[in-house]
Amino acid sequence: MGLEEIKEKIELLRKNLTEHNYKYYVLAEPSISDYEFDKLLEDLQALEKEYPQFEDPDSPSKKVGGEVNKNFETFTHEYPMLSLGNTYNQEELQEFDKRIIKQLGHNDYQYVCELKFDGLSISIHYENGRMLRAVTRGDGVKGDVVTDNVRTIKALRTQLGGSFPEKIEVRGEIFMHRPAFDRMNMEREEAGEALYANPRNVASGTLKLQDSAEVAKRPLDIYLYQLIEKNETIKTHFDSLSKMQTWGLRTSEHARLCGNIDDVFKFIQYWEEERKKLSYDIDGVVIKINDYHQREELGFTAKSPRWAIAYKFKTEAACTKLLSIDYQVGRTGAITPVANLEPVFLLGTTVKRASLHNANEIERLDVRVGDYVYVEKGGEIIPKITGVELSKRAENTIVHPYITECPECHTPIVRKDGEAQHYCPNEVFCPPQVIGKIQHFIHRKALDINGLGDETVELLYHNGLLKNIGDLYALKYEDLIQLDRMADKSVKNLIEGIEASKSIPYQRVLFGLGIRYVGETVAKKLAAKFKTIESLMAATYEELMLVDEIGERIAVSINEFFAEEKNRTLIQRLKEAGLQLENMEVEKEKLSDIFSGKNIVISGVFSRFSRDEIKDLVESHGGKNAGSISAKTSYVVAGENMGPAKLEKARQLNIPILDEEEFLRMIGE
């Protein structure tokens, strides 16, 4: 490729990126995904680095955002609102960590991980505790003054409380919750108006409205994530989040202090799944060096800090034809509709199937066989259908009729009040349920049977050797050795693994039973309260409800499980086989009743004891450990780096906060 062609390619990339910037920041009508934009920008930056003779100070690679809306007064940021470098994979994040170590010359540092809110960045200035102005990011150097509009946000304090510096600047993200967005769209649909595209666009467009009274009608929200104060009395970012909360400013309760890059990966992995449970959209995680002095050492590039990076979750949609809908049956009997699609390439793989979740989702989307549908992958293993391209719908399509019987055993399916999922009630003879329950029982967190995997379970089931988990303990060498793929050594390993499982603790056996809604934590609490399986089987609904973290749904499920004669027979078989069906743990010595009847929350890091040791001391002195702060909390025992949200909540509820030494004095240690 000649120099003239290189120049033309660079100019075309600049033109396209400038147009996309305008659509995104000014019109709030993005035409490509963030991922596609970032890839175009990377291409441009690579070419500009290789061919510096084509340098242009107005290139999009030199900018942070879009153009300033001329309808508002503009304000120049004292400290530019820089963008962050983006990464979409852990390898690049590992390289970022290596650069930090190299530049600092050591690995004695901490990261703060925060959710990357999908909204509009804002800078807010306070003087003498009162809000002076609010400014959009704009092009990163100057932005629009939207003070009156921002003042309408109910979650924002316009007058600070507590002890604060004379002048501060705080930065954050303005956004809209999805339920509020859905309500707005519903009202627009009823009024015959065009629907909004997504919550981010609405938030961005709302701040550009000239009438603040109209802005006040829009349910905007805000989280603050950065404090700028010239006296630099605060030394770390995590402390600044806590300090902002003491002034009444809202920061996210999900920020976490991480000791190393492995902790960062765990945080990212957790939120890739848990983000679906949030009421607002996030598109990634922001990772920042915690210590301000170390940030100064690391410095900045021309457009972003070297001490921070954004890990963005991948989201991409594709449009393809829906060929048919199948139904899968899980181990609990839950029915999940799955769409069969014309193959389409999405985020590096070819997608042929996508989840439709349940009957409500099919009805909500009005998805029909033959439709052209939008498929998204995001962080999900199984892609999901998110919409229908109605302009391509054929005239002869019909509303999809949801099945009325199990596709595996043809038993009529049921749906309980208040639940979205349909179930097959035939748990004894429905093949996927029987196989799934046995597979759950043998896995690592339950009975952990060595030599027995999912495929072997299927082999044994289809050969009539397994009909329930009790049959595992009746398996004999002479029956197994006759099966395909079962050699002498593998059979002996399996028999030994089954025998070894008889020593697995009671709480893991409870989890392995697969009682609906009884996970690892609930099983542990049940085993601690009801020391034998007989006492649990005899427990009333009221007795179960008294156990910590046991709610109505779990209590009903446990009672229903043990009310079934087949399950009581199964328990008897397991008992006769020699499984651990009683709690063998030694009762902890009770030292006093100082905390009798009191709920204690432990938070932070302690110098003399671990958190688990502190919890043991609480129980030894009659107290009950609680995981979250509420009006029922008696004391909070706070160590170093206690979460700022917990600290603020404890103060708001006037709950006594004990440090490690005060706690130890109370119990006479």
| 600, 634 contact by CB (below 8 A) | yes
Residue 128 phi/psi, 5° resolution?
A: 55, 35
Residue with token string 């109370």: 666
pLDDT, residue 318, reads 85
Instruction: Work out the percent of the chain whose per-residue pLDDT is above 70.
Output: 91
Report which DSSP code applies to 667: T
pLDDT, residue 66, reads 43
Q: What is the pLDDT of residues 402-420, one digit of tens each?
A: 999 999 999 999 998 777 8
Q: In this structure, are 258 and 299 located in the same domain?
A: yes
| 174, 122 contact by CB (below 8 A) | yes
* Higher pLDDT pick, 68 / 520: 520
pLDDT, residue 222, reads 93
What is the spatial distance between Cα 611 and Cα 604, in angstroms, rounded to a whole number? 8
* pLDDT (mean) for 326-331: 90
Q: What is the pLDDT of residues 372-406, one digit of tens each?
A: 999 986 544 468 888 899 999 998 889 999 999 99
pLDDT, residue 162, reads 85
Q: In this structure, are 445 and 508 located in the same domain?
A: yes
Q: In this structure, are 164 and 297 located in the same domain?
A: yes
What is the spatial distance between Cα 666 and Cα 669, in angstroms, rounded to a whole number? 8
The answer to whether position 71 is within a domain reads: no
CATH number for the domain spanning 633: value is: 3.40.50.10190
Residue 216: pLDDT above 80?
no
Q: Taking Cα atoms as reference points, which of 125, 126, 145, 127 lies closest to residue 135?
A: 145
The answer to whether position 593 is within a domain reads: no
What is the spatial distance between Cα 485 and Cα 235, in angstroms, rounded to a whole number? 63
Number of domains making up the chain: 5
479 membership: H or E segment, kind and range: helix 477-480
Binned at pLDDT 50, 70 and 90, residue 24 comes out as low
pLDDT, residue 432, reads 92
Q: In this structure, are 174 and 298 located in the same domain?
A: yes
CATH number for the domain spanning 327: value is: 2.40.50.140
* pLDDT (mean) for 212-227: 87
| 69, 25 contact by CB (below 8 A) | no
Vertex 379 angle, CA 377 and 385, to 5° = 30
* pLDDT (mean) for 516-545: 89
CA 507 to chain centre: 27
Contacts of 15 (CB under 8 A, 6+ apart): none
* Residues 291, 293, 298, 304, CA torsion sign: positive
pTM for this model (two decimals): 0.47
Out of 158-162, 299-303, 455-459, 567-571, give the one with best mean pLDDT.
567-571
pLDDT, residue 551, reads 80
Contacts of 239 (CB under 8 A, 6+ apart): none
Tokens of 17: 């990126």
What is the spatial distance between Cα 526 and Cα 558, in angstroms, rounded to a whole number? 10
Residue 7: pLDDT above 80?
yes
What is the spatial distance between Cα 507 and Cα 523, in angstroms, rounded to a whole number? 5
Q: In this structure, are 572 and 625 located in the same domain?
A: no
Q: In this structure, are 308 and 321 located in the same domain?
A: no
| 523, 583 contact by CB (below 8 A) | no
What is the spatial distance between Cα 407 and Cα 430, in angstroms, rounded to a whole number? 10
* pLDDT (mean) for 644-669: 85
Q: In this structure, are 13 and 27 located in the same domain?
A: yes
Per the structure, the complete domain to which residue 512 belongs is given by: 431-577
Q: Which of 271, 292, 312 is the last residue of a domain?
A: 312
Rg (CA), the chain: 30
The answer to whether position 78 is within a domain reads: no
Q: What is the pLDDT of residues 61-73, one digit of tens each?
A: 754 434 444 468 8
pLDDT, residue 345, reads 79
What is the spatial distance between Cα 654 and Cα 171, in angstroms, rounded to a whole number? 29
Q: In this structure, are 308 and 326 located in the same domain?
A: no
The answer to whether position 451 is within a domain reads: yes
609 membership: H or E segment, kind and range: none
Q: Taking Cα atoms as reference points, which of 413, 410, 370, 367 lies closest to residue 387?
A: 367
pLDDT, residue 377, reads 67
pLDDT, residue 485, reads 78
What is the spatial distance between Cα 238 and Cα 154, in angstroms, rounded to a whole number? 25
Q: In this structure, are 219 and 168 located in the same domain?
A: yes
Active-site residues, by number, are 116
